[in-house]
A and B are shown apart, each in its own frame.
Chain A
Amino acid sequence: MIGFGSQAALIARRDILRERRSGEVLWVTLPFGAIALLLVPLAVGTDAPMLRQIGPGIFWVVVMLFGVFISIRQTSSETDAQRDQLALSGLDPAAVYFGRALASFLFLLGFQLVLGFVTVVLYDISLEGWLILPLTFVIVAAGLSLLGTLAAGIVATGQNAAALVPLLVAPLSIPLLIGATQALEALQLGRSSLTWVLMMIVTVIVLAIAGVLSAQPLQETR
């Protein structure tokens, strides 16, 4: 019997291989996110100072909304047979949860890095206080991946599942959105961003606990 960490790594590796074959994040979600960043100035106006001001906020909104699709893509695209096979494999449901979340975490991190670069270029963002960004990227990716995996597990493959998961994830990701935007703004204004970072970390911990506690009952739901 392999350990908890190895089981999670096994699931993460499986999801990464599936992504490598389908290329959904790289060839669909990522370009779609970049297009969204391109469309906003066309809608609100191309005034450079205004875009510089709203740019970070727009970036995080795009990350949250499009990141949902990344964090739910594997779980929601699984067939009933695949779920049954996974349930009968003897893997710890909590390890499966963390494995899925780990794969999504890596994709989300890459997604944020690429879109972050696109935002800096398109919106001419000042990188003052940028040292907080790597930490924010990691926490947001962790929170969103845990939340998306949990929500996709709850909804599973029911009717309208693809539309329902974003409805559940988007409102619950608000603490991450607020924390991410405020942490950078606080540093740029010369204030401490510790409170905002702590708020995001607490959110991530709560999501991790909720995911672990619900993994077993959700697997039995099939």
Chain B
Amino acid sequence: MTPREQTIERPTSVWPWITMGVAGTVTFIASMAVGPDAVQGQLSRIMYVHVPAAWLAYLAFFVTMAASAMYLWRKDLAWDRRAASSAEIGVVFTGLAIGLGMIWAKPTWGVWWTWDARLTLTAIMFFVYLGYLALRRTTTDLNARAKRSAILGVLAVVQVPLVHFSVVWWRTLHQPPTLLKPEPIDMDTSMLVTLGIAVVSFTVMYVAMMFKRIELARLEDEITEMQQTADVPIAGEAVTAPALERGA
């Protein structure tokens, strides 16, 4: 079989789409079923998407770091695909967390944006991981791309604890951690259960998204490899057919 005749297998798994749909629906129903907050009213419902989105961003960037470290250790491109897929999902959910936070902030604080440590550091984290994704587009050499982005993937994760603990280390307008803290959680039970359902649903959604994105990344890598090898003669340009003398 010549390289031109190579084909790639089309992904057929449907369960990730169904899982994402179910998880999204469960979050929506749970966040609508719970009563409004006594102070913030209906606006508090944003929290059931904002908090899980932020949690997912943390999780995704930690997975990127772990998969990047595994790539540097094992030199297996499968780990690179996991790292990149997770970073991509993390960027989407960081953007979602920032966007929803801004929508919540306008009626609550009176401004779309304020120079608060949590907000500023989250924006910086967003741009650094955008840089990570941009870095992956600078070369088509799969191994070079994997190694460069793995180093950045390991380094960039330092921002996650910075973002999380910024509300503890600095006096900020943003409220301190509600769930991920050593002290007991001070929250209404129905709201806490709803938030828990949303966090679990988003985590399940992340797993499904990861599955589909890794599948897609594998196909992208296969296409890149096929494109790079399709028109290349087996022995390169160095070998040419010998010129035989007539009658020899």
Q: Is the CB of B135 within 8 A of A217?
A: no
B111 within 8 A of A: no
Number of interface residues of B (CB under 8 A): 20
Surface stretch bound by B, among A1-9, A64-72, A90-98, A152-160: A152-160
Q: Mark A161-188, 1 if CB is under 8 A from B, else 0.
A: 1001001101110100000000000000
A156 interface neighbour in B128, B137, B148, Cβ under 8 Å: B148
Chain B contact residues, majority secondary structure: helix
**Cα distance A127–B182 when bound, in Å?**
45
**Cα distance A114–B135 when bound, in Å?**
33
Q: Is the CB of B151 within 8 A of A214?
A: yes
| Distance between B224 CB and nearest chain A CB, rounded to angstroms | 14
A171 interface neighbour in B131, B134, B144, B155, Cβ under 8 Å: B131
Q: Which residues does chain A contribute within 8 Å of B218, judged by CB atoms?
A: none
| Distance between A173 CB and nearest chain B CB, rounded to angstroms | 10
Q: Given A164-B135, A167-B134 in contact, is the A155-B148 Cβ separation under 8 Å?
A: yes
B138 within 8 A of A: yes
A164 interface neighbour in B138, B151, B155, Cβ under 8 Å: B138
Q: Is the CB of A161 within 8 A of B138?
A: yes
Instruction: List residues of chain A with CB under 8 Å of any chain B CB.
Output: 154-156, 158-161, 164, 167-168, 170-172, 174, 206, 210, 214, 217-218, 220-222
Task: Sample 14 A-B pairs with CB under 8 A, ordered by A number.
Answer: A155-B135, A155-B138, A159-B138, A160-B137, A160-B138, A164-B135, A167-B127, A167-B131, A171-B127, A172-B128, A210-B155, A220-B147, A221-B143, A222-B144
